[in-house]
Amino acid sequence: MTREVQRLLGERNITFRSGNRTLYSSARANLKRGMREAKSDYRRRIEDHLNNRRQVWQGVWHLTNYRANLGAADGDATLAEELNLFFAPFYVEPPETATVQPMVHSSFTLTAEEHEVRRTLRAVNPRKAVRPDGIPGRVLKDCANQLGGVFTMIFNQSFSQSTIPPCLKSSTIIPLPKKPHISNLNGYWPGALTPVVIKCFEKLVWGHITSLLPQRFEPHQFAYRSNRSMGDAVATALHAALSHLEQQGSYVLLLFVDFSSTFNTILPYKLMDKLGDLGLPHSTFMWIYSFLTGRSQRVRVGHHTSTVLSISTGSPQGCVLSPLLNSFLTHDYTPTHHSNTIVKFADDITVAGLISAGDKSAYRSVNTSELLKKTQQRLHFLRVLRKSNITQRLLVSFYRCSIESLLTYCICVWYTSCTVAQRKALQRVINTAQKIIGCPLLTLEELHSSRCLKIAQNIIKDTAHPGHHLFELLLSAKPRNLCNSLTVVGVGQSVTALTLLESISTPRLEMT
């Protein structure tokens, strides 16, 4: 609704009230012409920024009201104080027997090279909000060559002393509403703003720690690791569960565990015990302890800022090291019996155990029903874009990001469990999107085949993947055999992958 359109709308209303039919017809025609020109100009402004992905998607979201930004919380100083106390992790006094000394002492001290520091500074996102230290990310990024040597000395001194300056451990929490309507303090998500400099610290320490861990560390932790996904975690859990069901007179009991406020409840002295078992160097061990203790926290709501609280429990959400430290807390959660399997994705843990006879696979239809509902709802946004005469290229991009991404999420797991009616219903969604866009799209079966092929190829290349042992290359003259341990999920996912792989490679594959 531009100013010109508002002016034409006012003229039309005036002529309508005057009763002059000729002037009213002319004003109405001018209004329609002005609205067409305004829509055309708006569409051109969006399409002129195709090289800027950020502006393109901001325009698409604004046009469709898709993923509306709820913004930060708004309130008074009282709300800021209440949220500060609510977000503050509870502090637990360590027992007298607790120690922060590592089990393995080492003279090794982490050192940062100047080229590594410069590379880390250049990777800073300049669009991020200004942090508590007041140093904009743009300054660190643009002045990386000049500041590289200075920060290298600061980093190395911090590593050698195993301490972090208090100014780098401060955080400002911005409460973000989880839903449009908030009824209690639990409806806010704590977005922590920490200094950009400490994030660069953390990236260097992350690389140092991961280089010391064994290759097969936490093989069933599927979060925060390359070539791992939620789909792999679900497939592994289902494979373990359904393989039990092949045994006569048995059934599987699944236990799903989700830790509440995992990052906020990290106890440093307990984490130190876990790190001691891993044998990390003494300096790294103590640097992490300094990182977790003696932090300061405050909450900002609008223009109001709460008082500062001293925190020595938990790790701020949004820190680079927080996910890795959380995985250390659960790395020793291993099954004590060969018939049990524990699968982890961040703080979500699934325990599968063989109990007795029975089959409980009816829950699978819930996922397909929810998937169909979500994809049908998102077709509305595609229709809105089509009515706005958005180019076909942008329509296809929106379809792949908002609809196809839902259809292909864990498709290798649930596709073979769907009924014919469910597959037809999902295919109708693709057909509808195809008519709206006006160009051919991959069918549901083609999406499933391509994803299975890609995942199988990646698993075969990765010898450390938990599913690598399921595939074994054989000589082309030897026929393929499927062992008796092939599960229902194997029939749906692995056999499909075997068929696809055989069609493009000479060696045959055996399912073990």
pLDDT for 189: 82
| Residues 140-156: tens digit of each pLDDT | 899 999 999 999 999 99
Local structure of residue 401 (DSSP, 8 states): I
Q: Within its chain, how far is the Cα of 460 from the centroid? A: 25
Band of pLDDT at residue 399, cut at 50, 70 and 90: very high
pLDDT for 146: 92
pLDDT for 378: 92
Judged against a pLDDT cut of 50, whether residue 100 lies above it is answered with: yes
| Residues 205-247: tens digit of each pLDDT | 888 888 887 777 777 888 877 788 888 888 888 888 888 788 7
Average pLDDT over residues 299-316: 85
pLDDT for 483: 38
Local structure of residue 257 (DSSP, 8 states): E
**Can you read off the two tokens belonging to residue 495?**
């056999």
Average pLDDT over residues 489-500: 52
Average pLDDT over residues 255-270: 79
User: Do you know the residue count of the chain?
Assistant: 512
Residue with tokens 């009515």: 387
Average pLDDT over residues 278-296: 84
Three-state secondary structure call for residue 504:
helix
Q: Cα(25)–Cα(344) distance, rounded to whole angstroms?
A: 68
Judged against a pLDDT cut of 70, whether residue 486 lies above it is answered with: no
> How large is the angle between the packed helices 196-212 and 322-329, nearest 10 degrees?
40
Radius of gyration of the chain (CA): 29
Q: Is 218 in contact with 331 (CB distance < 8 Å)? A: yes
More confident residue, 510 or 206: 206
Choice among 41-55, 124-138, 261-275, 326-340 with the minimum mean pLDDT? 41-55
pLDDT for 134: 81
Average pLDDT over residues 70-95: 74
Judged against a pLDDT cut of 50, whether residue 130 lies above it is answered with: yes
In terms of Cα–Cα distance, which of 458, 455, 416, 497 is closest to 509?
497
pLDDT for 449: 92
In terms of Cα–Cα distance, which of 510, 502, 504, 495 is closest to 416?
495
Q: How far is CA 299 from CA 136, 305, 323, 324, in A?
A: 20, 6, 22, 25
| Residues 354-370: tens digit of each pLDDT | 776 544 444 457 788 88
Q: Cα(374)–Cα(498) distance, rounded to whole angstroms?
A: 31
Average pLDDT over residues 82-98: 68
Helix, strand, coil percentages, rounded to 5, for the chain: 55, 10, 35
**Can you read off the two tokens belonging to residue 284?**
């790294």
* Residue 299 burial (10 A CB sphere; 0-12, 13-18, 19+): buried
Largest CA distance in the chain: 94
CA dihedral (425, 428, 432, 437) positive or negative? positive
pLDDT for 427: 95
Judged against a pLDDT cut of 50, whether residue 485 lies above it is answered with: no
| Residues 152-211: tens digit of each pLDDT | 999 999 888 888 888 888 888 888 888 877 888 888 888 888 888 888 888 988 888 888
**Can you read off the two tokens belonging to residue 127?**
């669009």
pLDDT for 480: 45
Average pLDDT over residues 116-133: 85
Q: What is the mean pLDDT of the chain?
A: 80
| Residues 465-477: tens digit of each pLDDT | 888 888 776 655 4
| Residues 444-470: tens digit of each pLDDT | 999 999 999 999 889 888 888 888 888
Q: Is 204 in contact with 233 (CB distance < 8 Å)? A: no
pLDDT for 67: 65
Local structure of residue 129 (DSSP, 8 states): P
Judged against a pLDDT cut of 50, whether residue 509 lies above it is answered with: no
Element (H, E) at 33: helix 21-47
Q: Characterize the bridge pairing of strands 348-354 and 252-258.
A: antiparallel
pLDDT for 95: 57
Choice among 370-374, 382-386, 420-424, 500-504 with the minimum mean pLDDT? 500-504
Average pLDDT over residues 123-136: 82
Q: Is 174 in contact with 72 (CB distance < 8 Å)? A: yes
